Amino acid sequence: MANQIHPLMSFFEGYVRNFRRLNLSSLHNRSMFTSREIDYFARLGEWLGFDAYVEDSKRNDLTGRSRPMDLSWWKWDTRLDKENYVSLSLHLER
């Protein structure tokens, strides 16, 4: 069997290879790093066919609270459910 890279490793490898395109330097503060990284992963999710949301939250019915997320990727598939997302595919906390 040929060596196959796990999809998450592919995302990480792509991020490392494209890091210079974030155009960050030591002159930028942490919030700029965070903003650009979240924007990068939001665009990546959309390119991969997910609905990407920044500053999203998901309600936890067990606790009655919401769970904040810096970024989320949701999958919509009307073949499975016409009214709801079928999965939360990525939850990113920076």
CA 17 to CA 35: how far, in whole Å? Answer: 19
Mean pLDDT of 7-21: 80
Confidence of residue 4 (pLDDT cuts 50, 70, 90): low
At a CB cut-off of 8 Å and minimum separation 6, what does 18 contact?
40
Is residue 65 within 8 A of residue 43, CB to CB? The reply is no
**Residue 58 exposed, middle or buried by CB count within 10 Å (0-12, 13-18, 19+):** middle
pLDDT in tens, 19-69: 888 888 888 888 888 888 888 889 889 988 898 988 866 666 677 777 777
CA angle 68/60/90 to nearest 5° reads 50
Higher-pLDDT residue of 57, 2: 57
Q: What is the pTM of this model?
A: 0.70
Q: Please compute the mean of the pLDDT values over residues 74-90 and round it to a whole number.
A: 79
Local confidence band at 3 (pLDDT 50, 70, 90 cut-offs):
low
